Structure 1
Amino acid sequence: MKHIMLTILLGLMFFSGCGKSLEKTNIVFSYGKVSVAETMVLNDLVKEFEDKNPQIDVVLQELPSNIDLQYKYYSESFEQKLHKPPDVLCLDIMLFPQLAKKEEWLSFVEWFFKDKDKFFPGALEGCTYQHGIYAIPWSVDGGVLYYRKDLLKKHGFLTPPKTFDELINQARTIILSERCYGFVWPGGNSEDMVCTFLEFLWGNDGILVTGNEVLVNSLWGRESLQMMADLIHKHGISPQSVTTMDNVAAVNAFTSGNAVFLRGWSYSGPSIFSNPSLKDKAGIASMPCFNDKEKKSASCLQSEVLAINKHSKYEKKAWLLVEFLTSEYAQRKRAISINKAPSRMDLYNDPQIKSNAPVISELYPVFMQLQPRPITQQYSGISKVVQGYVRDVLIQKLTPEESLKKATEDIEKVFQQQ
């Protein structure tokens, strides 16, 4: 009897132990709705992660693509407790500051992050809030200059312009004999226009805001805004229609053969270069800067970042997922499969990416110049102010001096509302 009882006891212990070994942790990964192709790659990566980590099940939670609706959901989850917050959050870089400001929402991931020196500095800066890293860049995009390399070569220009004066000279020379605009860019009321203005401003060593201090009303700010207006009204290389263009309209003007130069986003590269009308005719370069040798080109950061719920019961396991998704392997797969530009610098020399995603491999110099938009919870209000006053200069309603004085006053009011 003792023997039987012992056998039963050992059996119960065995099955109990097995039960524990088979227990799985559910890690919820939330993300904004993306394309079918991108969803398929995400599913593949999650499956590979689960195969490597059989104790973890990843539950994918698709949110609306609109970042305002995403913020509403996270607010309802973290503050109002209407939903269970996810363990890992995939965020648009524009949404990151709004969540990071809530100090109880996102985990301080710098404790885990051992290879941050392998990521683009500007992308990491975009994940930094109050001197700490609260997210990991998953992919990067930035503002770039597209150009018609066939037209530059035809008119004797060996390289794309590095300064705005060079751009003006090249564009004016070419449009004298070609039926097209010189330079198109998003100058209508949109976030794309704000990013374009920032690239002009940064390319002149200017600053929009730092902390709660508004610095845009400076010599550098006025020169930058004057340059944007002069491209239209003085030099005549940008059409008046840029004042109503968004990014899509500007890209369409370029791909239809109606412009020599385009300020666009790097993510448009694959579609631009695959356009039959531009086959072997288009090139990509950094945005120009101002003439001073101390001035440097700048590219406005757009990025996907991964963050961890500070209150997740499974913070370390959540980090394993983030670590895998931001690994060289996962980023290489996304680059080759869906043209997602990696946030890891080393991958820009990767033979597979050079072979399968050649546009991405050309972007390393641009991404070394990445700068994030002001990382503040008031950014959306600041952006609306900038949109209005920049456009007032572009349509000659205000001078740069008048515009930036008023913009400074209104941005200061935005900060006072926090």
Structure 2
Amino acid sequence: MSFGFKGRALRSAAAIALISALGTPVLAEEITYVSGVVGKAADNFAALVKPWEDMTGNKVTMVPMPASTSDQFGQYRLWLAAGNTDIDLYQTDVIWAPQLADSFVDLTEVSKDLAPTHFPSIIQSQTVNGKLVALPIFTDAPALYYRKDLLEKYNVAVPKTWDELTVAAQTIQDGERKDGKGDFWGFVWQGNAYEGLTCNALEWVKSFGGGQIVEQDGTISINNEKAAKALETAKGWVGTISPSGVLAYQEEEARGVWQTGNAAFMRNWPYAYGLGNGDDSAVKGLFSVSTLPVGAEGDSSAATLGGWNVAVSKFSKHQEAAISLAMYLAGPEAQKQRAINESSLPTIVALYDDADIAAAQPIIPQWKDVFLNAVPRPSAPTLGKYNEVSSKFWTAVHETLSGNGSAADNLAGLEADLTDIKGDAW
């Protein structure tokens, strides 16, 4: 018996459940999902997709990618350029839509009921030339993690400015080392030369009033005194309140130092909150989060807008099943599960008022304050050239932090490089 579902995508998880209840065999295909992995994301993925597998009879295999988003993007671009048919779904960074759109299925029609339940700005970020090329599965905005017990021990307030953070971190670091903790640090963050450094440095620059590298109208704004001051401030942390090795840190290296109890402050994404309160964590129950500091009183905090989405490959041989999984992962059931189990921020607005999420992860409703300070990376104005722009930016920043040239000189060189990349237009 046929119910007419062949040849078109399932509209929602409810539709999948209905077909399952009717007893009709549904696809029974094996599909492949590729994603970067941080924290326990790989371990949690099997539980996340199990309800969908049970409802459809399909099976999902996750192909883990390096945590570095820069490495992920490079590999994705190679696969898609080659028309790879082995990957059905790609977990994509919020900034990649303009660059990879031509290789993804348009999900506008199939998600016409689901998409309006998400934050409009996030849906818009995944819409290219009128086509919704990826569905949001969780959003991201980093925060300042701090040890409540140590701030109280040393009578230190939660820092509001980067200078206050510097002083607070040094005070606590000095005190803890006098108590015998020789490997204790004041502040850990992501200083490796990769996309994560673009995120960190954009926050420093923006919070000092130095702009957004390239403004929304396409103007290259990075070469200015406030941006230079921001980078020189961060340079001063390396080897003092932050280990020299921070210049090789990504998210997991920073979390490793923090979660073993060896740092007073950390800049990281929401995923680290739930892990930090795990039973195996040395800082369980001892920390909280706040908005990232500002350059000076009167400046605005900045948190780089992150987040992840799911896109269906045009080259997939299992598009119907892939679209069905994308809809499930972007829907309320999976987003709620991910919020509870991984402290990931939902993109469905109503979930911020969900009692179960608030009980399991009370920080999520509070993260709204961080999210309201989110600043986008300049992927929209730079279009397909964003990856080159970001690479030039993080390279100039890393050179500055490493002591290879002043911030002013490196930003002047960066402006020249970006002008060449821009050419007549982005």
Question: TM-score, structure 2 length as denominator?
Answer: 0.75
> Which residue of the other structure, out of 253, 269, 273, is the alignment partner of 1:269?
273
Q: Which deviates more, 123-132 or 147-156?
A: 123-132
Q: 1:177 to 1:289 in 2, by over 3 A?
A: same
Q: 1:90 to 1:277 in 2, by over 3 A?
A: closer
Give 1:89 deviation, angstroms.
5.0
- Aligned-residue CA RMSD (Å): 3.7
Q: Which residue of 2 aligns with 1:401?
A: 408
> Which residue of the other structure, out of 199, 204, 210, is the alignment partner of 2:203?
199
Q: Which residue of 2 aligns with 1:75?
A: 81
CA contact (8 A) 1:207 1:221 kept: no
CA contact (8 A) 2:207 2:293 kept: yes
In structure 1, how many angstroms separate the alpha carbons of the residues matched to 2:31 and 2:375?
27
Q: Which deviates more, 244-253 or 313-322?
A: 313-322
Q: SS of 2:296's equivalent?
A: coil
Give 1:32 deviation, angstroms.
0.7
Q: Which runs of 5+ in 1 are unaligned?
A: 1-17, 51-56
Give 1:125 deviation, angstroms.
5.3
Look up the equivalent residue of 2:51 and give its one-letter code.
Answer: D
Look up the equivalent residue of 2:227 and give its one-letter code.
Answer: G
* Bigger radius of gyration: 1
Give 1:216 deviation, angstroms.
0.9
Q: Which residue of 2 aligns with 1:247?
A: 251
CA contact (8 A) 2:138 2:344 kept: yes
CA contact (8 A) 1:199 1:298 kept: yes
The answer as to 2:168 corresponding to 1:177 is no
The answer as to 2:351 corresponding to 1:353 is no
In structure 2, how many angstroms separate the alpha carbons of the residues matched to 1:371 and 1:28?
38
Give 1:117 deviation, angstroms.
6.4
The answer as to 2:225 corresponding to 1:219 is yes
Q: SS of 1:249's equivalent?
A: helix
CA contact (8 A) 1:122 1:301 kept: no
Q: Which residue of 1 aligns with 2:134?
A: 135
Look up the equivalent residue of 1:138 and give its one-letter code.
Answer: I
Q: 1:315 to 1:109 in 2, by over 3 A?
A: farther
Give 1:99 deviation, angstroms.
1.0
Superposed, 1:190-339 pairs within 5 Å as 190-205=194-209, 206-210=211-215, 212-232=218-238, 236-274=240-278, 275-293=280-298, 295-307=299-311, 322-339=326-343
Give 1:109 deviation, angstroms.
2.4
Q: 1:265 to 1:111 in 2, by over 3 A?
A: same
Q: Which residue of 2 aligns with 1:163?
A: 161
Q: 1:175 to 1:317 in 2, by over 3 A?
A: closer
In structure 1, how many angstroms separate the alpha carbons of the residues matched to 2:116 and 2:288?
29
In structure 1, how many angstroms separate the alpha carbons of the residues matched to 2:206 and 2:109?
28
The answer as to 2:417 corresponding to 1:410 is yes
Q: Which residue of 1 aligns with 2:52?
A: 45
Look up the equivalent residue of 2:100 and give its one-letter code.
Answer: L
> Which residue of the other structure, out of 376, 388, 395, is the alignment partner of 1:381?
388
In structure 2, how many angstroms separate the alpha carbons of the residues matched to 1:408 and 1:320?
44
Q: SS of 1:217's equivalent?
A: coil
Identity of aligned residues (%): 25
Q: Which deviates more, 262-271 or 27-36?
A: 27-36
Q: Which residue of 1 aligns with 2:65?
A: 65
Q: Which residue of 1 aligns with 2:34?
A: 32
Q: Which residue of 1 aligns with 2:15?
A: none
In structure 2, how many angstroms separate the alpha carbons of the residues matched to 1:212 and 1:30?
37
Q: Which runs of 5+ in 2 are unaligned?
A: 9-26, 67-71, 178-183
CA contact (8 A) 2:31 2:318 kept: no
Q: State how many pairs are aligned.
A: 383
CA contact (8 A) 2:31 2:321 kept: no
Q: 1:317 to 1:410 in 2, by over 3 A?
A: same
Superposed, 1:16-27 pairs within 5 Å as 18-19=1-2
In structure 1, how many angstroms separate the alpha carbons of the residues matched to 2:129 and 2:409?
33
Q: SS of 2:79's equivalent?
A: helix
Give 1:150 deviation, angstroms.
0.5
Q: Which deviates more, 25-34 or 245-254?
A: 25-34
